[in-house]
Amino acid sequence: MSLGGVDLSVTIGKLALRNPVMPASGTFGYGEELADLVDLNGLGAIVVKGTTLNPRMGNPPNRFVEVAGCAFLNYVGLQNVGVRRFIDEKLPYLRRLRTPIIVNIAGEDVEEFKLMTEALSRVDGVSAIEVNLACPNVSGGGLAFSADAQVAFDVVKAVRDATDLTVIAKVSPSLVDVRTLAQVCASAGADAVCPIWSGMGMAIDINTGRSRMGANLRGALGGPGLKPLHLRLAYEAAQAVSIPVIGCGGICGWEDAVEYLLAGASAVQIGSAGLINPQTYTETIDGLGKWAENRGVSRIEEVVGSFRMS
Ligand SMILES: Cc1cc2nc3c(=O)[nH]c(=O)nc-3n(C[C@H](O)[C@H](O)[C@H](O)COP(=O)(O)O)c2cc1C
């Protein structure tokens, strides 16, 4: 994609993206729901909501609340139709788009990741698998898969061995340093890594004295207030590996996207901000192009990792 003479295309594994901007998993449904609001064919890619082997109802309300004016708690609980219905009911629409489709998968154990990858690799229309290593390893005690470097390796390796599609490892560094996680995923065969901090928060309504997340009590903290933390993760991951890094966390517009690219991310995902304003994706793509043009940058890939300490 060329905007004002700027080539915005980037490469992630086998994926040639027309620009580096995509919605983050779980914040864009299956794409079709947003078709009246967003030019789906103008996006770099579409990451569909977290998909599990079997359908899931998700958590009871409340699942998504704003806290402190610049952050959000979410605890959706991976509500989704399951991989079989995704393939039968959702993929036919997505397949008609010109935009690469990335399917985010969440397994309860290594075997489930493998089974879903095999199923998604047998059908047309899926361009990449995003492996959600932040979800709980149910058979292994409930900690996130990326809480243990060996477990993270095993999952990514199982997915890698099951597919020729591009594999993105979405890791959440809680107990393991982000650089180690990125290296482990790269050595297991991931084509790209997307680091995301998924610390849990809570919020209390001081007028009612009740949990603002209802019976869920907790929720994963995200949104603009968390951007500096996520930017640091993207930077450190990019320093540690030679595979592309996808930046995610707190991106609200083109300025944030530029910052991530400068820090070393090859592409970016927009989550909560897109829920608040669905024009965020288009505005970010347009803004990136204009920023690059004003700077005399002809290819956006030149910007990746070009930041200087002083
Ligand atoms: C409502 C909601 C649902 C989400 N569902 C998923 C999911 O299914 N799989 C996943 O890997 N991440 C999921 N996430 C995390 C986002 O993809 C993203 O990593 C996170 O929100 C940080 O980005 P942000 O600060 O731009 O929101 C979800 C986030 C929100 C807000």
- Enumerate the domain spans of the chain: 2-61+79-201+224-303
Distance CA 155, CA 291 (A): 39
201 lines ligand 1 (CB under 6 A): no
DSSP summary character for residue 94? H
For residue 158, pLDDT beyond 70 = yes
270 lines ligand 1 (CB under 6 A): yes
Which amino acid would we find at residue 94? L
pLDDT for the residue numbered 58: 85
CA-nearest residue, atom 11 of ligand 1? 132
For residue 75, pLDDT beyond 90 = no
If we measure between CA atoms, which residue out of 26, 71, 74 comes closest to residue 200? 74
Q: Determine the CATH number of domain 2-61+79-201+224-303.
A: 3.20.20.70
CB pairs under 8 A, 24+ apart, for 178-183? 178/233, 178/236, 178/237, 178/240, 179/236, 179/237, 179/239, 179/240, 180/149, 180/240, 181/133, 181/146, 181/149, 181/152, 181/237, 182/236, 182/237, 182/240, 182/241, 182/245, 183/240, 183/241
Q: Is pTM, for the whole model, over 0.75?
A: yes
280 lines ligand 1 (CB under 6 A): no
Neighbours of 57 (CB within 10 A): 9
**What is the share, in percent, of the chain residues with pLDDT greater than 90?**
85
Mean pLDDT of the chain: 95
pLDDT band for position 198 (cuts 50, 70, 90)? confident
If we measure between CA atoms, which residue out of 94, 139, 148 comes closest to residue 112? 139
Distance CA 134, CA 111 (A): 16
Closest ligand 1 atom, CA of 274?
26
Tens of pLDDT along 265-282?
Answer: 999 999 999 999 999 999
| Residue 235, both tokens | 């930077």
Residue 264 Cα to ligand 1 midpoint, Å, equals 21
Closest ligand 1 atom, CA of 170?
11
Contact (CB, 8 A) for 186 and 175: no
CA-nearest residue, atom 4 of ligand 1? 26
The C-alpha angle 99, 102, 105, rounded to 5 degrees, equals: 160
Which amino acids are annotated catalytic?
135
